[in-house]
Each structure stands twice: as structure tokens, then as C-alpha cells.
Structure 1
């Protein structure tokens, strides 16, 4: 299981919004990212850059897998693994009871 983020979702949204609003004020997009990261106490500008890219994907500005699609895919993979485990248990139980039926009775 992934470790929880040390940045709350509200901070992420605010940081992304600030970068989008301040792009024009800086020479490059990365300069805007570094500036906002420093102001908000985000240790790595790369972290903020990733949030920005994901926000652009979620808004449909950039191609890629949206956050909702990613969460649904993760849920389906987890469900698939659980169903496979259940299937293995049922196969083992079926084999056990079939072997019991094949044994000659003791009576």
C-alpha cells in the first residue's frame, strides 16, 4: 500500500492554481513552479510539476490517464486479485471434497 501524502489535497489544488495563474509573470513555466513551491513550502518543485501535469490531464488539456480512471483501474485490479484468490480457494476445496467422495467407505 502506498504511503499517504504529506501534502493535503487543498494545498495541491491551491499550488496548481497559483502556478496556472502566475505562468505569465515568469520567464518559464518551471520558474513559476519553483516560485510557488518555495512560497508554499513544497520541498521539491518536481512534485508540484507532477501535480500540474495531472491537473492538466484531468482537465482534458493534456492526453493521459485521468485521476478517476487511475483510481477505477486500481480498484478493478484489487477486485480481480481478490476474485482470483477466492477462485483458488474454491478449486482447492472442490479437489478436497472430490477426493473424499472417491475414497472407499470405512463402514
Structure 2
């Protein structure tokens, strides 16, 4: 959605759409984040290979950690709803990886 309708997706996330280099960074970074998480998760399911899940796990976990740091160190709002979604997805993907490893042993 970031590549198709950035103003709508920014608004849905409680963000203002930036301009100039900020807009380029906002669209490029956020589109790549969501595309990598989605595509790598799909590849993990489709190819049945655990290593595809590790990148989405890392991205989501570091996003949650970074939100907490932004709150503690920089006065950002604590986005509990977004942190919970990220952590639930991390736990789910770790469960999938762990379950697949047990099935292969």
C-alpha cells in the first residue's frame, strides 16, 4: 500500500505524510519493511524452509524494541497496539519455526 496510496496508509498508521527526502525515506523504508516481512513469510510457508522466517522475525522484533526505545529515550507515544501485533507475530513465527524443526527431527 505504501507504493500505491501512501497518504491513506500513513493516515491509517497515525502518521503525517512527509515531503521531499522525508517522503522518499518514509515510502521506501516502510514499503520495504512490509514487503520483506510479507514476502519472506510467504516464502517460508511455500518453500517449507525455516530460514525464510528469520528475517521477518528479526524485523518485527527490532521494530517492537525500537518503539520502546523511541518512547523511553525520545518522548514518542508508546504504541502498545503496534508493539503487541509485532510481538504476537514474532511469537507465532517462532512457534512455526520450532514446530517445523521438531517435525524434521
Rg: which structure is higher? 1
Compare relative contact order (CA 8 Å, sep 6+) and give the higher one, 1 or 2. 2
In the superposition, the TM-score normalised over structure 1's length comes to 0.33
Higher helix residue share: 2
